[in-house]
Amino acid sequence: MDLRVVVGLNVQRIRRAQALSQEELSFRSGFTRAYLSGLEAGRRNPTLLSLAKLATALSVDIEVLTKRPGKDALAVTPRRRRSRKS
């Protein structure tokens, strides 16, 4: 699994477990909601500094954000966007 996807799924899983919206995490971390959305979808390639900011905002160690899921991990799948009808 691509590391960007791993980080995105971990951020999403932790954020949801803490009952935080992307907007609330945006306030805590200093990143825009659009950036967080792209990150959670695995479309962003965060820097080490970005990972450190996110870890602080989520009150977790940075290693938690990069840990690949194991057998005991809960699967979190990204939500699909609804297509707009013309």
Can you name the CATH fold of 3-64?
A: 434 Repressor (Amino-terminal Domain) (1.10.260)
The single-letter DSSP state of residue 73 is: S
Please compute the mean of the pLDDT values over residues 13-24 and round it to a whole number. 97
Q: What is the pTM of this model?
A: 0.79
CA-wise closest residue to 26 among 58, 3, 70: 58
**What does the pLDDT read at residue 77?**
45
Domain ranges (residues) in the chain? 3-64
Q: Is pLDDT at 7 greater than 90 in this prediction?
A: yes
Q: How far apart are CA 28 and CA 34, in angstroms?
A: 14
* Structure tokens, 63: 């290693």
Least confident of 9-13, 64-68, 77-81: 77-81
